Amino acid sequence: MNSAELKSKIIRQIDCLNEGDFEKVYHQLLEILKSANRYKLSEEENEAIDLALKVSEEGETYSHEKVVNEAKDRFPNLKFK
């Protein structure tokens, strides 16, 4: 089935729903559509990534163990695996 046929099939199925079921499907579909949208990084997030890459290129990295230990110290209520 191509996209047009699939869309048409979905529309026919939705059209047969009672009001209560339609509302449930409508809200579920909205959630799916929202999650399908690409997340756009903010300027602040882009700057943080650029800085992290620069620092990494300069060899200023930390081991996984060191990062986890520091996180455990700073956030003792969190559970780490």
pLDDT of residue 50: 95
Q: How confident is the model at residue 40 (pLDDT cuts 50, 70, 90)?
A: confident
Q: At residue 43, does pLDDT exceed 90? A: yes
SS3 percent helix, strand, coil of the chain, rounded to 5, is 70, 0, 30
User: pLDDT (tens digit, 9 = 90+) per residue, 2-31?
Assistant: 999 999 999 999 999 999 999 999 999 998
CA distance 23 to 28: 9
Average pLDDT of 26-40?
Answer: 85
pLDDT value for 34: 83
Cβ-proximal residues to 55 (8 Å cutoff; 6+ apart), any chain: 61
Q: Where are the domains of the chain?
A: 3-36, 43-74
Burial class (CB in 10 A: 0-12, 13-18, 19+), 25: middle
What tens digit of pLDDT does each residue of 54-77 get? 999 998 888 899 998 999 999 989
